[in-house]
Amino acid sequence: MLLIKCPWCGERDMVEFTHGGDATKVYPKDPNATTSEEWHDFIYLRENPCGEHVEYWHHVAGCRQWLKVRRDTTTHDILTTAPADGDLDT
């Protein structure tokens, strides 16, 4: 894994990005109606698969946009990328 394809900037060196963690986690819709179990799940629990992982990256030293990436945690291959609120499979 050396090049990450930013949806806005194209393929860029990984040093321009920071990892944002598990992208299957969604911020609770209504914080006031969220139970402490749901907060616990959102804040602390992580999918941590050996294989394909859907995760956020931040193009922090580039366009500063967040993106979503599907990456293999055993080979570091970047499989697909999309805007953070986009769909990885289209």
Partner 1 sequence: MLKGGLYPSVRFPQMEAYELTRYSIFSLIKQGLIRHTGWKRAWRNPEPKAAYDVIIIGGGGHGLATAYYLAKLHGIHNVAVLEKGWLGGGNTGRNTTIIRSNYLLDPNAHLYEHSMKLWEGLSQDLNFNVMFSQRGVLNLCHSKAQTDAFARRGNAMRLNGIDAELLSRDEVRKRIPELDFSDQVRFPICGGLLQPRGGTARHDGVAWGFARAADQRGVDIIQNCEVTDFIIEGGRVTGVETTRGKITAGKVAMAVAGHTGVLAQKAGLTLPIESHILQAMVSEPLKPLLDTVVTFGAGHFYISQSDKGGMVFGGDIEGYNSYAQRGNLPTLEHVISAGVSMMPCLSRVRMLRSWGGTVDMTMDGSPIIGKAPIEGLFINGGWNYGGFKATPGSGWVYAHTIANDAPHPLNEAFTLERFARGRLIDERGAGANPALH
Give the residues lining the site for partner 1 (CB under 8 A).
Answer: 1-2, 14-15, 18-19, 21-22, 36-37, 40, 43-50, 53, 55, 71, 73-76
Q: Is 9 in the site for Zn ion (CB under 5 A)?
A: yes
Amino acid at 27: Y
Radius of gyration (C-alpha) of the chain in whole angstroms: 14
Least distance from partner 1 to the Cβ atom of residue 88, Å: 16
**Cβ distance to Zn ion smaller for residue 14 or 34:** 14
Phi, psi at 55, each rounded to 5°: -145, 160
Q: Is 3 in the site for Zn ion (CB under 5 A)?
A: no
Q: How far apart are CA 86 and CA 78, in angstroms?
A: 16
